[in-house]
Chain A
């Protein structure tokens, strides 16, 4: 048992952090987010070159052959920098296409960085699970940047290329998180290919990676507050000397560590194929989004008047936390899932 990263995992993490630090300073992020589609094509190409989309994909399918733990490390770093782009859908699609094994062409393009994928989480099966999708699904992030959509239904995962066709209509609009756009996917008999991949497993992976991204947001909000509390002076001393600030930072750190431990645990449980993984992923998502939301709120407060401005980055982290809260199910959904067995009649 060892819940600390190995030397190799540390190396992977620091390499990712270095690239994202160079490519996604917030000045660049702010330029990207006012574009029609807030993407960073150079970063996307570099990510492809470095194999980030296929970290946990087996080597024979073109990936790096690492596990969920390494993919988790990537998403923590993405959350820390608020890197824009359809990362979640693309990494999940790499997993699904590799497991399916029948569309090597799409997988190769995806891993080469020329095919980006949005994910439509459809746990209730609104679009149906037949070969033709029928219906509307709302709140699909990054549809504007995607060449394909991965539809994760209750029992089936569908693969939908977004080439121009009459049976698919997409409407895109701004999101509270200004680094991405939200979309509505309207299908009227669109033919979908069912991928041979276990839908609940893929949803678990997506939930875990969203939790990891939220953890990264929580980490950065904590660090930003601590950095500021050390240099900002009022009443002739750093505000970090005041217990009102110090204790809040301490609470931020504690809930971040709780989330980190739960996210790592859940990632390892997926890799080791443990039956409790479903429950542990729920817990990781609950704790990570809770930490992200609470930390980003606290971070605005710790920055005082500056924290309330558009110029400060504090709101960007808060809005990403808000977005991630809803990715693959909000806290209420996951809490209810945990409580469901207790509520079943005995």
Chain B
């Protein structure tokens, strides 16, 4: 959660009454000092590591298991430059450190993580942190990098100057991590630095840091040659944008074609296990509920897990390698044209995976109006929940043919077109918002360029595991209930003690009720049922259609695609794609927008705006295409 405004002046809470309260250790450091990698290594828990300043927007809590069965609570906090917050995520860190956060006690100790290759600047943060009076271990991270590039530092001397223990470690290799665990196991005293500067005076603080650095005979390493070489390519006036474009196309082509074998595998597993369950259960309505409702409904969505994980893998590599910051730099000019700035580009890019983390990531944007505008346009970006819907309809209605040689097929091109459509809607909406209700002065764009780093398998693996868990939990909490409710609606009311034909069921009645409203878009009542259930989450429509056709006995023999071809005209199919590109069918997003903007006004406005746009867009598409395709 964001900073708590109401309790900003409250006194730090006393230690919790329960005496067995776990010892809390906060992991603090400037952006890009490798806090999250260190956190990952200590807890082995899910954690987002990124090479981009300010990506860790929620404080993550994990448990570190130490020798002797002792357990510690570790909190990974958003990166800060000082204790003067400029954005929402920096406020979170300050509030936790001051003990002003509701659900977390004031930390008992701190791991201050600094980049050993950039100590001149990172040491500045030691002043405000040590002045908190909380036992602190100063962790100089990236020891391997420092050595490789010819830098050095006298750890003992630095420790004497700071009056706190110092450990030179590497989070990527695990070098000298014993020093960290030893600190966590001990009950160290509060730091006693030789002297501290006046914290409000930034130049004095920097002079202090420089002085401490020279007393500890700090020799900064040579600039990273790789970073310079790669920047010469990625920020080149001609090659830079070309590489940018090539990266995007390669990502989409791979998700669409590369994921296929894996998806077939999962599909096979879901099918076989469903059949297996069916053989063990006696013929009854319960068997139908489990096999058709639960297995069919959830299975239809789980099939897309490989595709979604592949997308997250790409975003993870781009983020962890440091390329994303360069992409933000390239995008800044374009973003400025629509009234936003390069920093909005990062949340918008993660919105391609899911709008919920994207909306949380907007906390790094300092300007409040820019932040709200970014939140409002983020759901237009083609999130992974749209993929199952797009994939199904495209595969059913667009013939697979090469378009640009082997590089780009018609189906991938259609997919790319839909991504572009969402992007254009976002751009147009941003312009609209920034020239009307969210007009503001241009805020300064300041972005730190992290050095390029090789993404570690550990952090990518943890990230994918995390995503898979979120996806499956969602399948269990949103998609499963939706599938069960739909199954019930499709099987009742019983007629003469028998399951009614789908038209006569409750679901059918519901679909027929909305049919007049959606008929102008080229959708019939079956699609109508899908549109209703997809208000919970977009991908639910796939399971819903599976259930509807499953009841008709079509799903297994001819497949969902063939069944759809009977019910939708090509024009209606394109209209449906357009509808899904624009509509805000996601309860999780609505909830998170409500939470982050602290009012119902914005999510309501967003829902209505996107819904109207979806309706108008689908209507226009259907009208134009029906005339044209004939």
Decide whether A and B assemble into one complex.
no
B interface residues (Cβ-Cβ under 8 A, vs A): none
A interface residues (Cβ-Cβ under 8 A, vs B): none
